[in-house]
Amino acid sequence: MKSFDPEQAITEARREFGEHGGVAPSIERSSTFTVMEPGEMPEIFAGKRGPDRGGCYLYSRHFNPTVDVLDRYLAAMDGTEFAVSTASGMSAIVCALLQICHQGGHIVASNMLYGGTHALFTDLLPEMGVTATLVAPDDVGAIARAIRPETKLIYVETVGNPTLVVADIPALAALARERGIRLVVDNTFTPMIIAPARLGADVVVYSMTKYINGASDIIAGCICCSREFGHSLYDLHTGRVMLLGPTLDPRAAFDVIQRLPHLGIRMREHSRRALAIAGRLETLGVPVIYPGLASHPGHECFKSIANRDYGFGGMLAIDCGTTGRANELLAILQNEEQFGLIAVSLGYYDTLMSCSGSSTSSEIPAEEQREIGISPGLLRLSVGYTGSLESRLAQIEQAVRQVGLA
Ligand code: PLP
């Protein structure tokens, strides 16, 4: 496959000027738009004359000019025909899933997912008559065996939260194609680094709250997909985005637009630092999980699916064994060493640290956590890029020595 350069793709898509020729696009805040000829209204409502089909804008829950600019950049970034921004990562996930899966439908999903998505599969969707079988995302054979006649889709995170298990996207895409179902991938941990749609995924979802926005000041999500699927999300009668209504505010869209041009630089720096820290921890004998380490079971798979030069991402995990030791390490890292902040979420310029089992994976029952390798002392780090790398390495080395991990 021809190598893909998402930064170049965004650069080529960026042809937008502000209303007065500004180098930045304008923010269009109008919720509704003037239709110049009354006869055009029915055609616009029938979906025959949208802004992407030579027509005009109608109403901002449908298409908004500023959100549209962001959508075009996101589609370029992922190599898809279309993208739909939403008000959160969860709304992107729910709308994409419900567009494909109806009452009685079945999903084969990874058993290593963000806790909210896990709750969606095990608690909320079953209430609506949609069930899921959870399987290890790196076991393509087990995923194939879990597919039933009523299965509509396979759902995985490219790099599973929080144990960083790597999904073989091309193999899963081939399986989905062969069985006539779709592959939906949450690529929140690896924007730019991996482009799942280019590897055969049908739909790619993101929490833009994380790396894509990168400043921990906006909740947003997006769905990158085919034009046909995008239009189905906006259908007047059955479009899940149109009718559930998780529209992204144009002001938030504008902020994300302004941060996309340096996403590539940020991802490379997150990756560079995470690799250095993971390498140092491994040398010290600390149990560390990072896909950039040759010791990681998904290392070769990651290398085979990644775009060139972006590294292995900014997420790593340290297995401290017990909650007590993880909390001790967290307290030292934040309050003594000033290495990072104890907070959930990820993709910020400062390092964010949390104990997954009792926070972002707490929706997963304790016994299931044990089975899938989330130990009570598993500390997830979203490695930031503030401060010098040398001082960060010294800080974490001091902290792991102090708690007896090295
Ligand atoms: N997907 C992943 C991998 C996440 O980590 C999260 C949140 O932590 C989400 C989706 C949900 O995103 P949001 O909080 O923007 O709704």
Which of 206, 234, 261 is the C-terminal boundary of a domain? 261
Torsion of CA 226, 96, 87, 121, to 10 degrees: -150
251 and 304 in one domain?
A: no
**50 has pLDDT over 80:** no
- Between 38 and 224, residue with greater pLDDT: 224
Identify how many contiguous H helices and E strands the chain contains and give both numbers: 16, 12
Q: What are the Cα distances from residue 1, in Å, to 138, 168, 198?
A: 22, 16, 9
392 and 345 in one domain?
A: yes
Nearest residue (by CA) to ligand 1, atom 2, is 114
Model pLDDT, residue 153: 98
Angstrom distance (rounded) from CA 16 to CA 207: 24
**Residue-wise pLDDT tens digits, 233-258:** 999 899 999 999 999 999 999 999 99
pLDDT grade for 357, boundaries at 50, 70 and 90: confident
Pocket perturbation via mutation, ligand 1, pick of 157, 159, 188, 380 by most ligand atoms within 8 A of CB: 188
**Whole-number average pLDDT of the chain:** 95
Q: Is 221 domain-assigned?
A: yes
**313 has pLDDT over 60:** yes
Q: Is 84 domain-assigned?
A: yes
pLDDT above 90 coverage of the chain, percent = 87
Model pLDDT, residue 355: 93
Six token digits for residue 329: 């390490």
Return the ligand 1 atom nearest residue 209 CA.
Answer: 15
Q: Is 74 domain-assigned?
A: yes
89 lines ligand 1 (CB under 6 A): yes
**Residue-wise pLDDT tens digits, 381-401:** 999 999 999 999 999 999 999
161 lines ligand 1 (CB under 6 A): yes
311 and 186 in one domain?
A: no
Burial class (CB in 10 A: 0-12, 13-18, 19+), 243: middle
248 and 270 in one domain?
A: no
Model pLDDT, residue 180: 98
pLDDT grade for 354, boundaries at 50, 70 and 90: very high
**Bridge partners, 153 (sequence order):** 107, 182
Q: Is 326 domain-assigned?
A: yes
**2 has pLDDT over 70:** no
**53 has pLDDT over 80:** no
141 and 81 in one domain?
A: yes
Angstrom distance (rounded) from CA 262 to CA 212: 9
**Bridge partners, 59 (sequence order):** 32
Distance 90 CA to ligand 1 centre (A): 6
Model pLDDT, residue 1: 55
**40 has pLDDT over 90:** no
Mean pLDDT, residues 98-107 taken together: 96
Model pLDDT, residue 46: 79
Nearest residue (by CA) to ligand 1, atom 8, is 345
338 and 207 in one domain?
A: no
Q: Is 1 domain-assigned?
A: no
294 and 214 in one domain?
A: no
343 and 208 in one domain?
A: no
pLDDT grade for 55, boundaries at 50, 70 and 90: confident
Edge-first strand listing for the sheet containing 352-355? 288-289, 315-319, 378-382, 352-355, 341-342
Which of 219, 240, 261 is the C-terminal boundary of a domain? 261
272 and 228 in one domain?
A: no
Residues 6+ positions from 141 with CB-CB distance below 8 Å: none
Distance 210 CA to ligand 1 centre (A): 8
Residue 94, Cα to own-chain centre: how many angstroms? 13
Pocket perturbation via mutation, ligand 1, pick of 110, 203, 204, 207 by most ligand atoms within 8 A of CB: 207
Beta strands 182-186; 203-207: pairing state = parallel
Six token digits for residue 217: 């000041």
Distance 360 CA to ligand 1 centre (A): 9
Q: What is the total residue count of the chain?
A: 406
Return the ligand 1 atom nearest residue 344 CA.
Answer: 8
pLDDT grade for 12, boundaries at 50, 70 and 90: very high
**Nearest in space to 85 (alpha carbons), one of 219, 264, 269:** 219
CATH code of the domain containing 348: 3.90.1150.10
Nearest residue (by CA) to ligand 1, atom 4, is 114
CATH code of the domain containing 25: 3.40.640.10
Model pLDDT, residue 373: 87
Torsion of CA 393, 399, 405, 406, to 10 degrees: 50
Mapped onto helix, strand or coil, the DSSP state of residue 52 is helix
222 lines ligand 1 (CB under 6 A): no
Residues 6+ positions from 124 with CB-CB distance below 8 Å: none
Q: Is 125 domain-assigned?
A: yes
Q: Is 170 domain-assigned?
A: yes
269 and 186 in one domain?
A: no
Mean pLDDT, residues 311-333 taken together: 97
Look at the chain and report how many structural domains it folds into: 2
Q: Is 223 domain-assigned?
A: yes
221 lines ligand 1 (CB under 6 A): yes
152 and 293 in one domain?
A: no
Positive or negative torsion for Cα 89, 92, 95, 101: negative
135 and 13 in one domain?
A: yes
Angstrom distance (rounded) from CA 351 to CA 224: 28
- The radius of gyration of the chain's CA atoms, rounded to the nearest angstrom, is 22
**Residue-wise pLDDT tens digits, 123-164:** 999 999 999 999 999 999 999 999 999 999 999 999 998 999
pLDDT above 70 coverage of the chain, percent = 100
Model pLDDT, residue 195: 98
**Residue-wise pLDDT tens digits, 191-216:** 999 999 999 999 999 999 999 999 99
**Nearest in space to 186 (alpha carbons), one of 133, 231, 223, 152:** 223
Return the minimum-mean-pLDDT range out of 49-53, 130-134, 330-334.
49-53
Return the ligand 1 atom nearest residue 90 CA.
Answer: 16
Under DSSP, the state recorded for 25 is: P
CB 202 within 8 A of CB 182: yes
Domain that holds residue 47: 6-261
Which of 197, 227, 261 is the C-terminal boundary of a domain? 261
